[in-house]
Amino acid sequence: MKRDIARELFRSYRTKTRRVEIESLEERSGEPEPLKRIMDELVVNKDWHKGLAEGNLFANWGSIVGAEIAEHAEPITLLDGRLTIRASSTAWATQLRLLAPDLLRQVQSDDAGALVEELLIIGPTAPSWKRGLRSIRGSRGPRDTYG
């Protein structure tokens, strides 16, 4: 049996259920409510704690890990507890891999509250030799062009 939405709306209008809801809201609206309390209720009702914590981690990255590390490393993604960090050079990627346990403790102890269980540190993206003026389809890469 199909649902007739128009008929249901007409019935709810005739029974005045919507009018009661509007009247109860009008009774509450005597004094303005603080915006912080409204936003806190919204975060709780919509279950946005995890998203806000992840956003705070990305926004406050420099203060969490320090200025020097933040200058050479940036967080890329946070999926299923794994934080992917891209370093500015391979040397920095190697250093960050050595510092990974300390860096993970530092990120976990932050007030943002993001759930990070593992760090994945990658280096900068390398240039692609597959496209361009002198590329050959099916070739083995740049070693074919030398000598």
Q: What is the DSSP string of 87-135?
A: ESSHHHHHHHHHTHHHHHHHHHTSTT-----EEEEE-PPPPPSSSSTT-
Rounded Cα–Cα distance for residues 116 and 27 (Å)? 45
pTM for the model stands at 0.59
Q: Which residue has the tokens 């050959």?
A: 136
Instruction: Summarize pLDDT for 110-126 with one digit per residue, the tens.
Output: 877 678 899 999 998 86
47: how many CB neighbours lie within 10 A of its CB?
A: 8
- Condensed to tens digits (0 to 9), the pLDDT of residues 5-62 reads 667 766 766 665 544 444 444 555 567 778 888 888 877 787 777 777 788 888 889 9
Domain with residues 34-147, CATH architecture: 2-Layer Sandwich (3.30)
Domain boundaries, the chain: 34-147
